[in-house]
Structure 1
């Protein structure tokens, strides 16, 4: 229950920040263009808080935190007095309308630059991209990747973290191959060529690295507990962080995987745990919970995470930059994220990426909760990624989104006359149906992951 409310609170915080940024972009440019703003709302439905400024704009924080809007004076939907005609949105030149509509996505991109710049100034911790394992008969195995390979460059871009390797791979979707420069376990520079013809991300939640057969290096798991989920079977049995599992039912536990295998087949069955706590050995009775899987199976679940052995020297590095370098890196990273987002939309349309990988509010909530748990740097990175995606999504040419409005105004700019109201109304209805269908599909994907 705590995890649910933590994720919900993190989701509301993250979405509230990003929606406020987006709508403030529209609001600020609208006022600069001489448009009267009637309402600035964060959320929909019943107002929880509201107030007015000296210019008469009503500010609202509403009950349903799934978006927001800026309501402007507009003769197409309101009765506008003659003395206020010049303040109405519809009376402004088409270039002013384009500026107002595009300001929301642009604000999201600027916020991403800011969030990333702050992140780089605080300091970013990276794990060196060293291959830990290679799946048999995979694309990586065919390319002769070996455990211990340190990935230095993917295509024409140098990489220093697994995130950069992952994003780099995704940017090459649809290509025939990609060359990867590595430093092997003997410190020799090698070139590996990964064949990408026919490569698709067509399985739900399958990571790009996993789909080509690369497993990142991780220190070995120990039998010492590093985290215990509140309210779990382990918590109820009295297990504590720092306990080391010695045996189960008088049979020695040799490694973490054997412990996992035993727990999985022991749902609702009492197990006699022998544990080492400090310098003492204690006996505890543990009854694993039954966890229902998506395929209908029920497996045992303990609710613990093991400690890892120490990372080898040099495998984790923290990079911290000054304000100017951080800003430059923020701009560069935001540009890469925007390009990648548009590429992924294209790959969704062509089928290179399965629609099963779409996430909705539930997926965002879990991501927000996890990133908050990992600290401010992870949360800033998450905010930047979602902000870019929100900006790109709003630029899609669906009439209910900013991109649809931009499409109409660009057509108006070219034709020297506005698109007919009948055509716009039809476009809004079709766009709304498509948006609802997309949202429902993303929610179904989220539910299937729970």
Structure 2
């Protein structure tokens, strides 16, 4: 185990991760709005009281808030959380009203809202494409290279040379797919579809559980099948192919996030694994101390998760707005303003509750509650 990074490095690393990613996310909204002729009253990085800013020639106030945990673009006419027309909006001159968010057709509003998460995914694709191009990719077929004695694979009577076609009904294209699938499912019993000497076979296997501790002392519970990899092939990636590889990796990470959410909902994964800004800050400092490649890889991962979370159909998030726009497109009229307002209030309450929960989780991971219990005891 090595020393954890200091407090100053952790804060700087956290700001270096969150600040640029929030900026590009909000810039996606802003540029899409500009494309459709929507005016912007404010572009803020951070919430709360303004600590610095300026107003450009278009009348947009660019500013920094004192709480650097997000940001927002306030478009012209955006006078309520549901972005619905109000009496104040109707009173605007026609020319000014035409430049407001509410005046645009639903498909343009949807593009403006979706642009933020899309830019986060694009950032991650560019980073991962760069890694693929400059470092190449590792590939091994989904074939059993060796069997660890007394492992789940040995108990399931797998044999060297078996080709794993599917785990739990999900097709396996590479050995990395097997490792990722098993890692996310410690203790689960799954069906395995195998090809042995050209013949299809099926069996069940209970994925083993391995407790690991990284060099910073963080503990993880992961799944292992107990098979060795066949020979690994290192493949160079051309510049034109690199974005495809980056996109494939982004989809793989998003699928892993969906798996994790499903496991938490069904109780197969502990809610203690949910982390918030404090844990992101801790990991940011750790990855920066390991060097720029590790840190930039973390930026890609956080960017993916920022885009993914914002697309969840929760009011107050981009996905919540898109959900209401989808209903509006089908019904050909907006959802009642009062319904949206109550939905957004509920969404805000849920997000605040989740933020409190993950913060308490983070503090527990840092050992605060154990230390307090020791002091009291």
Q: Normalization by structure 1: what TM-score?
A: 0.65
Distance 1:180 1:359, change over 3 A: farther
**Alignment partner, residue 280 of structure 2:** 364
Structure 2 residue aligned with 1:5? 8
Match of 2:133 in 1: 121
The one-character-per-residue Cα deviations of 1:393-436 (angstroms, maximum 9, x if unpaired) are: 11111111111111111111111111112111111121112112
* Aligned pair partner of 1:341 in 257, 260, 285: 257
Partner of residue 181, structure 2: 168
Inter-partner Cα distance in structure 2 for 1:419 and 1:65: 32
Partners in 2 of 1:72 and 1:131 — Cα distance? 57
Aligned counterpart for 1:63 among listed residues 66, 69, 80: 66
Equivalent residue in structure 2 for 1:429, among 306, 323, 345? 345
Q: How does 1:223-242 map to 2 (within 5 A)?
A: none
- Equivalents in 2 of 1:70, 1:426: separation in Å? 22
Aligned to 2:102, the other structure's residue is in SS state: helix
Task: State the distance in 1 between where 2:227 and 2:280 align.
Answer: 25
Q: Look up the match of 1:249.
A: none
- Tell me how far apart the structure 1 counterparts of residues 245 and 346 of structure 2 sit (CA, whole Å): 40
Distance 1:215 1:367 in 2: 30
Pick aligned residue for 2:27 from 20, 24, 29: 24
Indicate if the aligned counterparts of 1:153 and 1:181 stay in contact, CA closer than 8 A: yes
The residue that corresponds to 1:378 in the other structure is 294
Q: Is the 8 A contact 2:284 2:295 kept in 1?
A: yes
Structure 2 residue 172 is matched with structure 1 residue 157: yes
Q: Structure 1 2/91 Cα, relative in aligned 2: closer, same or farther at 3 Å?
A: same
Looking at structure 2, the residues matched to 405 and 349 of structure 1 have their Cα atoms a distance apart, in angstroms, of 23
| Superposed counterparts of 1:125-136, under 5 Å | none
How many residues align structurally?
338
- Preserved contact between residue 44 and residue 63 of structure 1 (Cα < 8 Å): yes
Asked if 2 retains the 8 angstrom alpha-carbon contact of 1:125 and 1:316, the reply is no
Alpha-carbon offset, residue 104 of structure 1: 1.1
Native 8 Å contact 1:124 1:377 kept in 2: no
Matched, 1:401 2:291: no
- 2:152 equivalent in structure 1: 139
Structure 2 gaps of 5+ residues are 81-85, 213-217, 367-377
Aligned mates of 2:77, 2:189 — CA distance in 1: 48
> For the residues of structure 2 that align with 1:367 and 1:72, how far apart are their CA atoms?
34
Q: Work out whether residues 154 and 165 of structure 1, in 8 Å CA contact, stay in contact via their aligned partners in 2.
A: no
Query: What's the secondary structure of 1:89's corresponding residue?
Result: coil
Give the 5 Å matches for 1:174-253.
176-179=190-193, 195-196=205-206, 206-209=220-223, 212=224, 214=226
Could you tell me how far 1:31 is from its partner in structure 2? 0.8
Q: Choose which of 87, 106, 111 in structure 2 pairs with 1:94.
A: 106
Q: Give distance in 2, aligned partners of 1:9 and 1:192.
A: 51
In structure 2, relative to structure 1, the CA distance for the partners of 1:132 and 1:385 (3 Å cut) is: farther
Q: Confirm or deny that 1:14 pairs with 2:17.
A: yes
Cα RMSD between the aligned structures? Answer: 3.8
Q: Matched residue of 1:46: which SS?
A: strand
Cα displacement (A) at 1:66: 0.4
* SS at structure 2 position matched to 1:167: helix
- 1:40-91 CA deviation, whole Å, 9 max, x = no partner? 1111123333123332212112222100000111164495530300011111
Structure with a larger share of its residues in strand:
1
Q: Measured at CA, do residues 3 and 68 of structure 1 come closer, stay the same or move farther in structure 2, by a change above 3 Å? A: same
Q: How far, CA to CA, are the matches of 1:319 and 1:20 in structure 2? A: 34
Structure 1's 389 and 46: CA in aligned 2 closer, same or farther, altered over 3 A? same
Q: Distance in 1 between matches of 2:260 and 2:77?
A: 36
Q: What secondary structure sits across from 1:324 in the alignment?
A: coil
Structure 1, unpaired ranges of 5+: 183-190, 218-313
Give the SS at the match of 2:52: strand
Contact persistence 1:41–1:59 (CA under 8 A): yes
Q: What are the residue-to-residue correspondences of 1:254-293 with 2, within 5 Å?
A: none
Indicate the larger mover: 418-427 or 335-344: 335-344
Closer/same/farther in 2, CA of residues 362 and 132 from structure 1, 3 Å limit: farther
Q: Considering only CA atoms, is the larger Rg found in Structure 1 or Structure 2?
A: 1
The structure with more helix, counted as a fraction of residues: 2
CA 1:429/1:6 → structure 2, altered by over 3 Å: closer, same or farther? Answer: same
